[in-house]
């Protein structure tokens, strides 16, 4: 790192110092506060505070939720009188009705909590964004804390990140909803870095006002956010600036309809169905490895959405936007900072009109630790407009024309099967590709490569002159010079895993009778995993001898697919695995780390 700093000159040193100052400022700034008051109900020995939540409380409940030992529930939760939760319990976005025993603390975020007769919490109870009801003398061993102000957060992979909203003197108003009032209005200033660190933007910073209004089951929200991209230099240039504007009207609580529109000038990623944002960002900032490609989108769209249940939704959107390429920049990284970043592949450029229909169907028992149920995510996209094709013509593609019309689809289907109380057999199929019309734009193509798809094979490594993982043709040097883009018209991936729970008991039972080893909220309990993956990509066209071109209605023989096998240990928030390619000879096994579960 020292050599790299010397080579890149004082500008890099200044950036490092600025990042340190920014981090210190963020941690020191107060949270945005609203009018606070404290009342006591004489009929119930509890307190309810209205207004802003102290920063340390927000950080504490976020830590509780993210802790591997915590039992996490999304939506409504009921604890029967005969049931016991050993350890901490956290509920997000639902009502927690407790009649049994919780041996740790209870955290309820953006929901209500009710203690029934006979319920017992051995440590504290914290409710943010809701209310609390209990018998006259609630059996809670620690402090009871209740705030009506909402818990504001965003998700990065499998964890929650509290939104650090500061500048407490920024104009903000709040009318706390009381029985019989019309509703509640909120306004605040958003300052966040809720985006993946990457070689194109560096760390984008989002700044702007947000306003929301709620009356019963009707909610309105809007935001106007400016985007500043740190890149490789903190300069006020067009390349470093963007924006995002949103307006949405939502009717319904558990089910309903949403209508909205958005304007944007932002950077989007290719093939986001693979690794999570957190994994991509940490690899980029830590090891100078960026497993995504990026392109610029500038335009607007309107959408309508029908939603129901915990995660099921049907959504349609239509918009017009301008596409263009982005260049890779010399952004900071911790390790291998002197290693050049992979070239960001060129994108097709022009103006496109897009019709997108997507659907999500989710019956899993838990989105974070699924043991049973279905998950289906499907998306259809039809685009038409004018594009200037980037790079070299692809094999089998027609001559470049300014007018373009295409259709593509992507499906992600998962099935989780419980095998007794401590095991599961899980399966996943990902299918995507061109359906009709002109060849797909460069930024809408596919590949089957990398840690999420086929971890036994290196990321987009071309193994021969006609690569079935990326659909690259020609020499490895030529492919690497273009940035190793995804080039396939279609792809298919099948995955299966067998999981079983295990526990490590090094020091005997704890004082609660729970046989597990816990140290600083990190438990040694986890699951062993054995898995197999198989998949490939291909081009659509007249059947050739190169093993890449296949007619529109056909699928390559499974004997030509790439396959790997492996195993490892899944600890919930992270997993350690080893994978070995079995369809290709001479490849060494890959040892790798995943944040969260494989799928």
* Among 6, 18, 5, 9, CA closest to 230: 18
Q: How confident is the model at residue 174 (pLDDT cuts 50, 70, 90)?
A: very low
Per-residue pLDDT at 492: 97
Q: Share the mean pLDDT of the chain.
A: 83
pLDDT value at 26 more than 80? no
> Is the pLDDT reported for residue 336 higher than 80?
yes
Domain end (from 147, 177, 211): 147
Per-residue pLDDT of 134-170, as tens digits, reads 877 788 988 899 988 888 888 876 789 888 653 333 3
Tell me the pLDDT tens digit for each residue of 556-576.
999 999 999 999 999 888 899
pLDDT at 162: 86
The pLDDT value given to residue 226 = 95
Positive/negative CA dihedral, 445, 447, 450, 451? positive
* Residue at 574 is within a domain: yes
pLDDT at 275 over 60: yes
Residue pair 6/15 in contact (Cβ under 8 Å)? The answer is: no
106-115, 233-242, 332-341, 397-406: segment of lowest average pLDDT: 397-406
In the chain, pLDDT over 70 holds for what percent of residues? 82
Give the pLDDT score at 321. Answer: 97
Residue 13 lies in a domain: no
Number of domains, the chain: 2
Q: Which of 147, 162, 191 is the last residue of a domain?
A: 147
Note the Cα 124 to chain centre separation in Å. Answer: 30
| Residue 522: pLDDT band with limits 50, 70, 90 | very low
What pLDDT is recorded for position 504?
Answer: 60
What local confidence, expressed as pLDDT, does residue 37 receive?
A: 33
* Average pLDDT estimate for 514-534: 66
In a domain, 245, yes or no: no
Domain for residue 417, yes or no? yes
pLDDT at residue 350 above 50?
A: yes
Span 391-395, average pLDDT:
48
Which tens digits make up the pLDDT trace of 184-207? 788 888 888 766 899 999 999 999
Instruction: Report the percent of the chain where pLDDT is more than 90.
Output: 58
Task: Calculate mean pLDDT across residues 98-108.
Answer: 94
Domain presence at residue 67: yes
- Return the pLDDT at 233: 85
In a domain, 521, yes or no: yes
Question: In the listed set 86, 116, 147, which residue is the last one of a domain according to the structure?
Answer: 147
Higher pLDDT, 26 or 311: 311
Q: In terms of Cα–Cα distance, which of 534, 536, 524, 538 is closest to 574? A: 524
Residue 548 has pLDDT above 70, yes or no: yes
Domain assignment present for 244: no
Is residue 173 pLDDT above 50, yes or no? no
Residue 31, pLDDT > 50, answer no
| Inside any domain, residue 116 | yes
Domain containing residue 418: 385-399+411-599
Q: Say which range, 80-84, 104-108, 398-402, 535-539, has the weakest mean pLDDT.
A: 398-402
Read off the pLDDT band of 515 (50, 70, 90).
very low
Is the per-residue pLDDT at 11 higher than 80? no
Long-range contacts of 68-74 (CB under 8 A, 24+ apart): 68/521, 68/522, 68/523, 68/571, 68/572, 68/573, 69/516, 69/518, 69/521, 69/522, 69/523, 70/104, 70/521, 72/366, 72/368, 72/369, 73/366, 74/310, 74/366, 74/367, 74/368
- Cα separation, 56 vs 27, whole angstroms: 11
Which residue from 163, 119, 125, 118 is spatially nearest to 142, judged by alpha carbons? Answer: 125
Average pLDDT over every residue of 258-283: 94
């Amino acid at each position: 790192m020292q050599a790299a700093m010397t080579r890149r000159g004082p500008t890099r040193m200044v950036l490092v110092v600025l990042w340190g100052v920014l981090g210190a400022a963020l941690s020191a700034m107060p949270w945005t506060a609203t009018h606070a008051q404290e009342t006591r109900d004489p009929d119930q020995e509890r307190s309810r505070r209205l207004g802003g939540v102290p920063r340390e409380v927000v950080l504490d409940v976020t830590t509780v939720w993210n802790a591997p030992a915590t039992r996490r529930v999304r939506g409504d939760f009921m604890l029967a009188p005969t049931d016991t939760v050993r350890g901490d319990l956290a509920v997000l976005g639902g009502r927690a009705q407790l009649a049994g025993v919780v041996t740790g603390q209870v955290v309820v975020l953006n929901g209500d909590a009710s203690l029934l007769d006979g319920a017992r919490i051995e440590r504290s109870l914290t409710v943010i964004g809701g209310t609390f009801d209990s018998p006259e003398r609630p059996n809670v061993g620690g402090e009871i804390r209740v705030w009506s102000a909402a818990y504001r957060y965003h998700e990065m992979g499998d964890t929650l990140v509290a939104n650090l909203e500061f500048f407490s003197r920024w104009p903000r108003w709040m009318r706390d909803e009381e029985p019989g009032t019309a509703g509640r209005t909120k306004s605040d200033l958003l300052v966040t870095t809720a985006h993946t660190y990457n070689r194109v933007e560096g760390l984008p910073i989002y700044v702007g006002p947000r306003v929301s209004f709620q009356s019963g089951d009707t909610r309105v929200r809007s935001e106007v956010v400016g985007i500043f991209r740190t890149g490789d230099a903190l300069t006020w240039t067009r390349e470093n600036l963007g924006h995002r504007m949103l307006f949405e009207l939502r009717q319904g609580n558990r089910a309903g309809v949403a209508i909205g529109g958005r304007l944007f000038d932002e950077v989007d990623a290719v093939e986001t169905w693979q690794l999570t944002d957190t994994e991509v960002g940490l690899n980029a900032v830590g090891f100078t490895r960026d497993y995504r490609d990026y392109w610029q989108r500038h335009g607007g769209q309107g959408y309508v959405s029908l939603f129901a249940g915990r995660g099921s939704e049907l959504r349609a959107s239509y918009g017009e936007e301008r596409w263009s390429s982005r260049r890779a920049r010399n952004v900071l990284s911790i390790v291998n900072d002197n290693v050049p970043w992979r070239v960001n592949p060129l994108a097709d450029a022009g103006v496109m009109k897009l019709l997108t229909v997507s659907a999500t169907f989710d019956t899993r028992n838990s989105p974070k630790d699924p043991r049973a149920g279905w998950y289906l995510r499907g998306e259809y996209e039809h685009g038409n407009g004018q594009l200037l094709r980037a790079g070299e013509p692809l094999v089998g593609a027609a001559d470049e024309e300014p007018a373009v019309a295409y259709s593509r689809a992507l499906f992600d289907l998962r099935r989780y099967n419980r095998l007794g109380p401590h095991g599961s057999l899980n399966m996943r199929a990902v299918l995507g590709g061109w359906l009709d019309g002109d060849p797909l734009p460069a930024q809408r193509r596919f590949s089957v490569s990398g840690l999420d798809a086929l971890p036994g094979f290196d990321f987009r490594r071309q193994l021969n002159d006609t690569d079935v993982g990326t659909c690259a043709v020609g020499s490895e040097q030529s492919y690497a010079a273009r940035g190793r883009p995804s080039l396939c018209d279609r792809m298919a991936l099948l995955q299966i895993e067998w999981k079983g729970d295990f526990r490590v008991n090094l020091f005997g039972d704890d004082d609660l009778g729970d046989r597990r080893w816990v140290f600083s909220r990190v438990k040694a309990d986890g699951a062993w995993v054995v898995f197999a993956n198989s998949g490939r990509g291909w081009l659509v066209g007249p059947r050739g001898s190169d093993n890449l071109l296949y007619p529109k209605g056909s699928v390559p023989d499974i004997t030509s697919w790439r396959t790997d096998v492996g195993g490892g240990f899944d600890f919930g928030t992270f997993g350690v695995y080893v994978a070995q390619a079995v369809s290709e000879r001479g490849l060494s096994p890959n040892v790798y780390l995943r944040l969260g579960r494989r799928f």
